[in-house]
Amino acid sequence: MELALQAATVLLAIALGVRTKGMTVGLWGAAGVLVLVWVFGLPPGSVPTSAIFVIFAVVTAAGAMQAAGGIDYLVGIAQRVIRAHPNQVTFIAPYVAWLFATGAGTGFVYYSILPVIYEVAYGNKVRPERPMAIAPTASQMGITSSPVSSAMAIMVGLMAPLGFEITQILSIVLPSTAVAIGAAALVQNRIGKPLDRDPVYQRRLAAGEVTAPEPVDVGEASPAAKRAAWIFGGGILLILLFGIFDQLRPAVPGEDGPVPLEMTTMIQIIMLIVALVILLWCRAKSADVPRSQVFRSGMSAIVALWGVSWLANTFIAANQDMIVTSLGNLADNSPIFIAVALFVVAALTTSQSSATIAIIPIGIALGMEPWQLTAMWMAVIGLYTFPINGSQLATIELDATGTTRISRFVIYHSFTIGMLVMATVSVLVGLAIGATFYG
């Protein structure tokens, strides 16, 4: 009974946070920690400080890039790529969104290319729902594909003690995600009626509620903006290089002699230096960095991660034996249960990071292989189960044709099928890759 009450406290705190959105999910998480400690007498759990520091370093570098105009430069490239093959927008748009989110470590870039996707689709008589419902989902898949995302920072911190480094994680995640997006695009390209036969669009058109979208153009980027983007990209390449060749990292004292510096620390150093180089070489103002949207979003993510992970760790650490015992038999009989748990928790918390910190440690405690957990980790795309995320709402709002929408059942909406296809295919392909190379 006491365990049930503790679990109810955790779920209630998360539910209240989700209702108010943003960083408040972390603040409610801290309130939940207070209840667990004061009412139930549990010791406070650990806080993922390494992951928080990584996020802070990355959003500082990304904020500097935005302050220098680097993100506008990247958006201009995305526009040209999407417009180059307008009839294939359903296939090109999600890959562009995925690649840019992977590189930037945030799905924020998607908001900048959303109007372009709509303009190209509408202008070429492609049902806007097809590319617009899958592109934001693909951008969120980019979070688990990115070497510099908050979710990856947490995953690296959890997997590194097991000898599974960032390059091994990416060797499973990147190809699996790429295949999953292609499979989802094939399915999505057959969803819905063409515009000339869609009753909602025809009704809106007759009522004068739909007008052709204005062309979007961010203009020519300055040399400083281009340098900022390339410097940020160079930082990502350095992270991958140090991840592949650990002998290149500085050696620090360990229990059995010198050992390579941990990747989480290496990422922090590299990204903070990237921010410094951008500020010095690209003439960006340091005062503009905290005001950038990327930086502000990152700070909200830090607060959310701090509170939710603290809450989850407090509950799990105090009840680990009981949780592991009760879930152990289920996981032994059906290991895929961990993927289902990641999907469900991501749906409830609307956060890949929160689902990662809550469920992956359970899989580790159950003795699951790192490659299995990495493959199942991509199920955190379940955060799109409920149409309450900003990118979903922005997409629905922009689509004046009404093809991108929420049904009366709420849980079924334009993003549902693409999300389910991506979750299923990415996990299955990831398990196949992991079993082939690491099993």
Task: Using alpha carbons, select from 15, 34, 33 the residue that is nearest to residue 25.
Answer: 15
Report pLDDT for 179.
98
Boundaries of every domain in the chain: 46-437
Report pLDDT for 160.
86
Report pLDDT for 55.
81
Report pLDDT for 88.
93
Element (H, E) at 421: helix 416-437
Report pLDDT for 238.
92
Could you give the CA distance from residue 101 to residue 103 in angstroms, rounded to a whole number? 5
Report pLDDT for 99.
92
Report pLDDT for 366.
82
Could you give the CA distance from residue 282 to residue 420 in angstroms, rounded to a whole number? 42
The per-residue pLDDT string of the chain (439 residues; one tens digit each, 9 = 90 and over) reads 788 899 889 888 877 876 666 678 789 989 999 999 999 999 998 887 887 888 889 889 989 999 999 988 888 888 889 988 898 999 999 999 999 889 877 776 787 788 889 999 998 889 999 999 999 999 999 999 998 887 888 898 889 889 898 999 999 999 999 999 999 999 999 999 888 888 889 998 888 888 888 776 667 789 999 999 999 999 989 988 888 888 888 989 888 788 888 888 888 999 999 999 999 999 899 999 999 888 887 788 788 778 877 887 888 788 877 766 666 666 666 778 889 889 988 887 777 887 888 789 888 888 889 999 999 999 999 989 887 777 887 888 888 999 998 877 767 899 999 999 999 999 999 999 999 999 8
Residue 341: which residues within 8 A CB-CB, separation 6 or more? 359, 362
Helices (H) and strands (E) in the chain, counts: 19, 2
Residue 65: which residues within 8 A CB-CB, separation 6 or more? 71, 228, 229, 231, 232, 278, 294
Task: Using alpha carbons, select from 329, 305, 359 the residue that is nearest to residue 149.
Answer: 305
C-alpha count within 13 angstroms, C-beta hemisphere, residue 172: 30
Report pLDDT for 326.
65
Could you give the CA distance from residue 378 to residue 371 in angstroms, rounded to a whole number? 12
Could you give the CA distance from residue 369 to residue 125 in angstroms, rounded to a whole number? 48
Q: SS in 3 state form for the chain? A: CHHHHHHHHHHHHHHHHHHHCCCHHHHHHHHHHHHHHHCCCCCCCCCCHHHHHHHHHHHHHHHHHHHCCHHHHHHHHHHHHHHHCHHHHHHHHHHHHHHHHHHHCCCHHHHHHHHHHHHHHHHCCCCCHHHHHHHHHHHHHHHHHCCCCHHHHHHHHHHHHHCCCHHHHHHHHHHHHHHHHHHHHHHHCCCCCCHHHCHHHHHHHHCCCCCCCCCCCCCCCCHHHHHHHHHHHHHHHHHHHHHHCHHHCCEEEECCEEEECCHHHHHHHHHHHHHHHHHHHCCCCHHHCCCCHHHHHHHHHHHHHHHHHHHHHHHHHHCHHHHHHHHHHHHHHCCCHHHHHHHHHHHHHCCHHHHHHHHHHHHHHCCCCHHHHHHHHHHHHHHHCCCCCHHHHHHHHHCCCCCCCECCCCCCECCHHHHHHHHHHHHHHHHHHHHHHCC
Read off the pTM: 0.82
Residue that the structure tokens 């409610």 belong to: 28
Report pLDDT for 333.
66
Tokens coding 250: 């500085």
3-state secondary structure of 283: coil
